[in-house]
C-alpha cells in the first residue's frame, strides 16, 4: 500500500482480514529476516494484529453463507458509510470563517457527539440511533443548521440507508444478529483501529528515528 492515505472502512471484512494477513506474511517471509528485538512496541502491535485478524477470520467463517446474510451485511455497511459521509462533510466547516456556518457547525457537532459511535453498536442500537439522529436533524431545532451547511442530502441518505437496512433485515425476522455478524462486526471495527494505530506509529517512528528496520516494515505496508 505504501505511505498513501487510504480508507480502511471501504474494505469489506474479508478484504481487511486479508490485507492484514498479507502484511504479516510479508514480514514473516522477508529476506533478510527482520530483527524486531529492539522494537518491542512494533512486536506488540504485530501480535495484536495477528490475534485480531485470526479472530475475524474465524467469526466470518461462522456467518451463514446465504444471500440474505450478505444483503444484511451490505446494507449495514451502506448506512455506516452514510454516517461517515455526514460526519466528514459537517467537519469540513470546522475552520470556516463564516459566522453563520461557524454557529451551525458548533451546534451540530455538539449534537453529533452523542451519535458518533453508532457504527460500532449492535444492529438494534444503530437502527434506533439513526432513527433518532435523523429525526433530530429534521426538527426545527436543527433543520436550519443542516440547511446552512447544505447537509440535507447526507441526512436523507442516512434515512434511506437505515430504512433499507430495516427492510433487508426484516426478510428473516427469526435470524439472530449474533448468528449473522455481531462478533465479526465488532472485530472488524477493532481491527481497523488497531491497523490504523500501527501504521501511524510506524510512520511517526520513521520520521523521528529513520531506522532501517522500520523503513523496511513501512515498505511492506
Instruction: State pLDDT tens for residues 89-118.
Output: 999 999 999 999 999 999 999 999 999 888
Cα separation of 8 and 39, whole Å?
25
Shared-domain flag, residues 94 and 146: yes
Name residue, grid cell 453498536. 121
Torsion, Cα of 170, 175, 181, 185 (10° steps):
40
Shared-domain flag, residues 118 and 208: no
Residue 82: give the domain boundaries: 70-180
Q: Is residue 148 part of a domain?
A: yes
Shared-domain flag, residues 167 and 189: no
Shared-domain flag, residues 171 and 195: no
Shared-domain flag, residues 78 and 123: yes
> What would the pLDDT profile of 181-211 be if each residue is shown by its tens digit?
556 777 888 898 899 899 988 888 888 777 8
Q: Is residue 3 part of a domain?
A: no
Name residue, grid cell 459537517. 90
Q: What's the structural domain count of the chain?
A: 2
User: What was the pLDDT predicted at 1?
Assistant: 40
Please state whether the predicted TM-score (pTM) of the whole model is above 0.75: no
Amino acid at each position: 500500500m505504501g505511505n498513501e492515505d487510504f480508507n480502511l472502512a471501504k474494505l469489506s471484512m474479508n478484504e481487511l482480514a486479508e490485507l492484514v494477513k498479507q502484511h504479516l506474511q510479508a514480514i514473516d517471509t522477508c529476506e533478510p529476516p527482520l530483527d524486531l528485538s529492539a522494537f518491542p512496541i512494533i512486536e506488540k502491535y504485530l501480535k495484536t494484529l495477528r490475534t485480531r485478524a485470526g479472530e475475524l477470520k474465524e467469526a466470518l467463517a461462522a456467518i451463514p453463507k446465504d444471500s440474505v446474510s450478505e444483503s444484511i451485511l451490505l446494507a449495514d455497511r451502506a448506512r455506516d458509510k452514510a454516517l461517515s459521509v455526514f460526519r466528514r462533510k459537517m467537519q469540513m466547516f470546522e475552520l470556516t470563517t463564516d459566522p453563520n456556518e461557524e454557529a451551525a457547525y458548533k451546534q451540530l457537532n455538539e449534537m453529533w457527539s452523542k451519535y458518533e459511535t453508532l457504527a460500532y453498536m449492535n444492529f438494534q442500537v444503530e437502527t434506533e440511533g439513526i432513527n433518532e439522529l435523523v429525526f433530530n436533524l429534521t426538527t426545527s431545532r436543527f433543520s436550519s443548521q443542516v440547511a446552512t451547511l447544505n447537509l440535507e442530502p447526507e441526512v436523507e441518505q442516512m434515512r434511506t440507508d437505515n430504512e433499507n437496512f430495516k427492510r433487508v433485515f426484516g426478510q428473516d425476522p427469526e435470524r439472530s444478529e449474533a448468528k449473522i455478524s455481531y462478533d465479526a462486526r465488532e472485530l472488524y471495527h477493532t481491527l481497523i483501529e488497531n491497523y490504523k494505530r500501527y501504521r501511524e506509529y510506524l510512520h511517526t517512528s520513521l520520521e523521528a528515528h529513520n531506522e532501517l528496520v522500520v523503513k523496511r516494515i513501512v515498505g511492506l505496508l
